[in-house]
Amino acid sequence: MMTPVSIIVPTYHESPNIEALARRVFAALDAARMTGEIIFVDDDSRDGTAEIVRRLASEYSVRLLVRTEERGLASAVVCGLERARHDIMVIMDADLQHPPESVPALVEGIVRGAEMAIGSRYVPGAGIDAEWSWFRRLNSFVATVPARMLVGVRDPMSGFCAMSRETFHRAGRLHPIGYKIVLELAVKSRCDRIAEVPITFAGRAAGASKLSLREQWRYARHLARLYWFRFSVPIAVLAATGAVLIAWAGRTFVRGDAP
Ligand SMILES: Nc1nc2c(ncn2[C@@H]2O[C@H](COP(=O)(O)OP(=O)(O)O)[C@@H](O)[C@H]2O)c(=O)[nH]1
Ligand SMILES: [Mg+2]
């Protein structure tokens, strides 16, 4: 038997997805001869999540933490990580966009020595099955580029990952704002050995996304903070340098000086 795993699932109005998620996760663990627990961290949805988790607890190792004082995906994940019983921890969404069948492959990555294993949409063998509009795809791509400079992986925006408890502790003080808690953890723990595991990112099973324009603004602020942490350079200076370089390259090119 392998090291057991704690799976942290933040939830907000996800009751239609909880049971299918739990069954698929435990079936996948079973098939890989792994064991573990799921911790749902719910921000007081009052949509029947508590009853479903209580019922599932007679069959599986599942727990529910309900937060009433605070809201937000990232801080919910941190709350779950702090209460995890096992030394390998997985973070995943409740809406079945992260295929539960990929959990064992992420765990294997940690067992084989990675500090973090990311469920990646942008490595060979991966894909996006969700019906994303071209705008959502473009939006995701544009947001990914600056994050790739912070962490050397193809999909730093993924919300699906496994890590060791040591990696989590090394990250130290976290500022869990917005959506990108995996990016925050990867940067703050200064991970070098990050494995990327190809996943097929699915469409949302039920319910609606909570990603809003406000979240995107929070993401921009989050990026600025991480750039400061990682390079000690304000993002404004980087953006200005980039703009000057592009303008200079453009002028050189137009004048025909370029090779
Ligand atoms: N606890 C908690 N979970 C949240 C919150 N916002 C989103 N989530 C959960 O985080 C996961 C990803 O959210 P989702 O809205 O699907 O984001 P998207 O996949 O980027 O559109 C889902 O399991 C949500 O239920 C929140 O404020 N609190
Ligand atoms: Mg989703």
Centre a 10 Å sphere on the Cβ of residue 254 and count the other Cβ atoms it contains: 9
Query: How many angstroms does the Cα of residue 99 sit away from the middle of ligand 2?
Result: 12
Give the per-residue pLDDT at 232. 87
CA distance 92 to 103: 9
| Tokens matching residue 202 | 């699915």
| Tokens matching residue 175 | 């500022």
Q: Could you tell me if the CB of 252 is within 6 A of ligand 1?
A: no
This prediction has a pTM of 0.90
For residue 162, tell me if it sits in a domain.
yes
Q: Which of 75, 17, 91 is nearest to 49 (CA)?
A: 17
Pairing type for strands 161-164 and 116-120 reads antiparallel
For residue 226, tell me if it sits in a domain.
no
Residue with CA at minimum distance from ligand 1 atom 24: 11
In the sheet that holds 194-198, the strands lie side by side as: 62-66, 36-42, 5-11, 88-91, 161-164, 116-120, 194-198
CA distance 84 to 41: 11
- Domain span at residue 155? 5-207
Give the per-residue pLDDT at 132. 79
CA distance 57 to 174: 31
pLDDT tens, N- to C-terminus, the chain (259 residues): 678 999 999 999 999 999 999 999 999 999 999 999 999 999 999 999 999 999 999 999 999 999 999 999 999 999 999 999 999 999 999 999 999 999 999 999 999 999 999 999 999 999 888 777 888 888 888 889 999 999 999 999 999 999 999 999 999 999 878 789 999 999 999 998 999 999 999 988 889 888 788 888 899 899 999 999 999 877 667 666 666 766 666 665 555 444 4
| CATH number of the CATH domain containing 74 | 3.90.550.10
For residue 64, tell me if it sits in a domain.
yes
Give the per-residue pLDDT at 258. 45
The helix (H) or strand (E) run that includes residue 20 is helix 15-31
Q: Could you tell me if the CB of 76 is within 6 A of ligand 1?
A: yes
- Ligand 1 atom at minimal distance to the Cα of residue 210: 15
For residue 129, tell me if it sits in a domain.
yes
Q: With contact defined as beta carbons under 8 Å apart, do 147 and 156 qualify?
A: yes
CA distance 46 to 67: 11
For residue 130, tell me if it sits in a domain.
yes
For residue 190, tell me if it sits in a domain.
yes
Count of H-run helices and E-run strands, the chain: 9, 9
For residue 63, tell me if it sits in a domain.
yes
For residue 121, tell me if it sits in a domain.
yes
Residue with CA at minimum distance from ligand 1 atom 21: 209
Our count of domains for the chain comes to 1
State the DSSP string of 137-171: HHHHHHHHHHHHHHSSSS-TT-S-EEEEHHHHHHH
Give the per-residue pLDDT at 178. 77
| Tokens matching residue 55 | 């019922």
Give the per-residue pLDDT at 255. 54
